[in-house]
Amino acid sequence: MAGYFTYVASHSNNKPPPDMAALAVSIMKSGDASPELRDWAADVLGIQTDIGMPAKTAQQ
């Protein structure tokens, strides 16, 4: 199990290849991209999308 965490920790800071990053940014900027493509692009760019927002903050 410790090997898994070592692997994840050593690979979590790796940047995607430039062409994949450019494609992901293009998908995120696109107004007609599917939710599945947006999820893939967010994952490639390392954007965490499953963070809840408190209702108090959302109302402001």
Distances (CA, A) of 19 to 5, 25, 31, 45: 28, 10, 20, 12
**12-57 pLDDT tens trace:** 556 767 899 999 999 999 999 999 999 999 999 998 877 777 766 5
For residue 14, what pLDDT is reported?
A: 65
Residue boundaries of the structural domains of the chain: 16-46
Query: Rounded distance, CA 45 to CA 29, Å?
Result: 13
Q: Kindly indicate the confidence band of residue 60, based on its pLDDT and cuts at 50, 70 and 90.
A: low
Q: Note the pLDDT of residue 13.
A: 59
